């Protein structure tokens, strides 16, 4: 695994469980110090922070609601404190927008409240959090949006969720263009179906669904969190420094 020649710091939203947790740990193994957020389970977050420290890296966990834009200024101030006190460096070298949730409902039955909640967390949140973090981003930093394979293939019940992720993929290209003068590169990583508790853990726990997804995937199995954590680490590495404005799918060849 590639490791950093000099210590760097990444912010990972939604880093206490699922894909975010694995990304935090894989980045720590690659030499990153981590600030990561959690929504409500402080005990889970502290357990992850302890794992990062056991790997010899620095860690800080902050409570954060990715859909509550009005509180972003207060979060940025808390982040400044965490960087100064917990990490010992004043800037961020990477931001991974991973926090999110899913809603499964047909187009005809999608409620406005669910649509708005998805938009706040998956689109409005990353847009305005990145805006608020611009003063803390080091020149040459990386921004990575976690999207979904559902922006390429369509499965009934995910119209609203995939719409938000598709918008984030457009945002990725605009940020890459506008922030490129600072050497900041911006990409999207789009996972396929992964064995996590996302969506109630259906892909992980429903044997019939798991087998169906595996049968439609070129590599013959469903994705695991470490598949995505490894891809995130690779895209933030120096060796990927000439990649920006791109959507990279990590689905094992699902539905090709």
Annotated catalytic residue 161:
yes
Per the CB < 8 A criterion, the answer to whether 20 and 40 are in contact is no
The pair of three-digit structure tokens given for residue 45, joined into one six-digit string:
């977050």
Residue with tokens 């409500």: 40
Strand segments, DSSP code E, in the chain are: 8-12, 32-38, 59-63, 92-97, 137-146, 185-191, 247-250
Cα angle for residues 178, 183, 186 (degrees, 5° grid): 60
Catalytic option among 158, 161, 174, 212? 161
| Number of other residues whose CB lies within 10 A of the CB of residue 201 | 12
- The count of C-alpha atoms lying within 13 angstroms of the C-alpha of 252, restricted to the half-sphere facing its C-beta, is 20
- Which residues, listed in sequence order, are joined to residue 142 by a DSSP beta bridge? 94, 185
- Which residues, listed in sequence order, are joined to residue 60 by a DSSP beta bridge? 35
Per the CB < 8 A criterion, the answer to whether 175 and 130 are in contact is yes
Strand segments, DSSP code E, in 18-84 are: 32-38, 59-63
Whole-number Å distance between alpha carbons of 93 and 230: 18
Residue 176's φ and ψ, nearest 5 degrees, are -60, -40
Which residues form the catalytic set?
161
């Amino acid at each position: 695994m590639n490791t950093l020649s000099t210590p760097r710091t990444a912010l990972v939203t939604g880093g206490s469980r699922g894909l975010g947790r694995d990304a935090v740990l894989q980045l720590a193994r690659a030499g990153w110090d981590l600030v990561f957020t959690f929504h409500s389970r402080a005990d889970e977050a502290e357990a992850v922070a302890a794992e990062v420290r056991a790997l010899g890296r620095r860690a800080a966990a902050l409570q954060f609601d990715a859909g509550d834009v009005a509180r972003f200024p207060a979060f940025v101030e808390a982040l400044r404190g965490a960087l100064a006190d917990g990490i010992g460096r004043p800037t961020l070298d990477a931001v991974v927008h991973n926090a999110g949730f899913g809603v499964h409902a047909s187009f005809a039955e999608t409620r406005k409240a669910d649509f708005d909640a998805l938009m706040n967390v998956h689109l409005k949140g990353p847009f305005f959090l990145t805006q608020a973090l611009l003063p803390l981003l080091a020149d040459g930093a990386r921004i990575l949006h976690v999207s979904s394979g559902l922006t390429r293939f369509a499965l009934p019940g995910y119209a609203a969720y995939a719409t938000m992720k598709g918008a984030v993929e457009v945002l990725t290209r605009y940020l890459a263009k506008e922030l490129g003068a600072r050497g900041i590169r911006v990409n999207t990583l789009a996972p396929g179906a992964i064995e996590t508790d996302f969506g109630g853990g259906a892909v992980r726990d429903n044997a019939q669904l798991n087998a169906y997804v595996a049968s439609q995937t070129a590599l013959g199995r469903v994705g695991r969190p470490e598949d995505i954590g490894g891809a995130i680490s690779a895209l933030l590495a120096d060796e990927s420094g000439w990649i920006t404005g791109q959507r990279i799918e990590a689905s094992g060849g699902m539905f090709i």
